[in-house]
A = this chain, B = another copy of it.
Amino acid sequence: MEAKSSTDLLRRVKSVNGHMRAVERMIEEDAYCIDVIKQIQAVQAALNKISVQILDGHLHSCVVTAVNSDDARERERVLGEIAEVFEAATKV
């Protein structure tokens, strides 16, 4: 990952972690169920954006390198991983 996008990512993940600590407190304090679910759904939307940003960086670095390499097995592995996380993304 490049330095700049890595800093931005870290900031986003720290923000998610702040929101997740809030979820923990909400459950400890017996908050209204729907408010907790909405907070969790907001966290999941933020995590989706983080995953997209990471994948975008990955496509433009590792994937380009692997596809350009002469190592067919490595190329296959890297392309298979993209299909794998895409499949998981359709389920979470």
A: which residues have CB within 8 A of B? 1, 6, 9-10, 13-14, 16-17, 20-21, 23-24, 27-28, 30, 32-34, 36-38, 40-41, 43-45, 47-48, 50-52, 54-60, 62-64, 67-68, 75, 79, 81-92
Chain B residues within 8 Å of A6, by CB: 27, 30
What distance in Å separates the Cβ of A38 from its nearest Cβ neighbour in chain B?
A: 7
Are B44 and A92 touching (Cβ within 8 A)? Answer: yes
Q: A79-B60, A92-B48 are in contact. Are A33 and B67 (CB under 8 A)?
A: no
Chain B residues within 8 Å of A16, by CB: 20
Chain B residue at smallest Cβ distance from A87: B52
